[in-house]
Structure 1
Amino acid sequence: MNPGVHAGTRGTPLTPTGLSRPSVRSAGLLLGLALLAAATALSLSVGTRHIPLDQVWSALVAPSGTESDGIVRELRLPRTLIGIAVGAALGLGGAVMQTLTRNPLADPGLLGVNAGASAAVVTAIGVLGITSFTGYLWFALAGAALAATAVHALGGARSATPVRLALAGTAVNAALFGYVNGLQLGNLNTLDEMRHWSVGTLARRDPALLLTVAPLLVAGALLALALARPLGALALGEDQARALGTDLRRTRVLAVLALTLLCGGATAVCGPIGFVGLMIPHAARAFCGPDPRWLFPFCALYAPVLLLVSDVIGRIVVPPSEIEVGTVTAFLGGLLFVHLVRRRKVARL
């Protein structure tokens, strides 16, 4: 018997630490819930003005009209809820994307979601003169949906494969971002307005936007979770998936739809926020392995933790100013991702 692996009850394999894989998964979920609760408390308490947790609790359950109550209820609570929803959507979308394409370096932007949303928003600003975030929302959603549909069609539709989807996504991204850059350079007002949206931030977002897009995020999340089993079969290879009775075309179409709802909705609300959907699935696999039935819930739980912590860091590093969360996730996520790659010894030529 391998000394690093021991037999568990009823033949359940144990990890080198002596815990069975189900125990590790359960512990990982509990840890994720605890971390999410801690990140939520930090998001409500920490900022340019620190508010003790007891005052945060009073503001939530028994507001008395103080200035602290207003900060918590009107500014930080909506920002935190948006961060939780958007983080869960991006993490789940990244896990779906990597499983669908069988590419561990894939992220939701590979299907053209971010590029399509950006192209639609810059069109709304530069051509139609729309300057409100509420106005951006539906254009961003429509652009994300159209871009994802175009990538799926160019990738072969019924005969789409991971390689074809990746190549089609790269081509659509290049074309759309070229259009975005051209329109911005030709119109300085568009460049200035687009700057506020494209940086990726949780600040200054109308809570009504979350209420508007929440049904789409919930629908995308439920669809992604329902696809966990067929996507897991697809990850084994097309022949194996067919042998297990998986409808490949239906699974791919529904997975693209779930990605569009999740990442299109998240991008519409906060602008493009990178690295969350790329890094979180790698970290989650350390607890739950590659099985999508476990990976998807883990990513939906841990991604908001990264997003909220990054947002808190952005508030406190250069007071009284803020660093936008998209910048912090790129930096922090990049460091953590490099650590994971080096620790697992996969970054070798």
Structure 2
Amino acid sequence: MGTRSWLQRHQVATYAVAVGLAVGVGVGRPERAGFVQRLIEPVLAVLLYVTFLEIPFVRLRRAFTSGRFVAAALGMNFLVVPVVVWTLTRVLPRESVVLVGALMVLLTPCIDYVITFAELAGGDSERIVATTPALMLLQLLLLPAYLWLFMGADVAAVIEAEPFVEAFLTLIALPLALAWVTEAWATRSSRGRSWQAAMGWLPVPMMGATLFVVIASQLPRVQESIGRIVAVVPVYLAFLLVMPVIARLAAGVFGMDAGEGRALVFTSVTRNSLVVLPLALALPAGYELAPAVVVTQTLVELIGMVVLVRAVPAWLIPEPPAGRPNPDESHDG
């Protein structure tokens, strides 16, 4: 328990070290990028497994009944976000390859490490877990529609469903099932309880490992194209600044408590870059720069998340003062 609490208190320093090491490897040993990239999915799957173990499944079952949160999350991601993205991307060059990469990543809500970030910020992460099937299905259906609306039919036609489905099965469904089995094992066996307790100190180190493998593997790709993609960085930064504020306002409108509000912030701001990257890599000739545009968002967002896991609970959505109740939770259903 001591190690676990120490890691939680020093999580930002842990992530800073991971980012520093990743930059060192990405710049100093770019030839290792291919090997490190192959580690992204396994590392992310382990991260999600240990994160799911932090969520009691009785609470997860209850989260599936939260119609208020689901409505807010879907409305933010598929109604509000597209308007914000369209507005922010008006400043980008009309070069389609840069714009398509930015639109692909900004229009798709995260379904994986958002759960970890929400948990680290004291958010109601089981609400996000319960919403992930709808988020995955709707982004799969709506991304081509949004690309058609923003860029035309030729771009929309190149989006395929397979990477989305594969990512959901390997990064959400499998870790969630394993966590459920582990929790059931822990209720019946002292070995299971010992295993679950040992896994309890892994979320922070695994988040650091995720930061490392993503940045170290993708930084060389960004370096090669930095001159052309630098224009998207202000857009990504603006998105990170604007969406938490809008989500905070929406949480107030929906009467959410602190945990739900923080979860809404993170599901509104984090994007599905690790799932979209295979889509960008599979684009036809002429779109070779799109993966670098997606990766740039990954780098900006991951560093931004290190700030938001502290800023959201400390400033944007703090706990209510002692003696002041949270908003009435009877709106769920």
TM-score, scaled relative to structure 1? 0.29
Greater RCO (CA < 8 Å, at least 6 residues apart): 2
TM-score, scaled relative to structure 2? 0.30
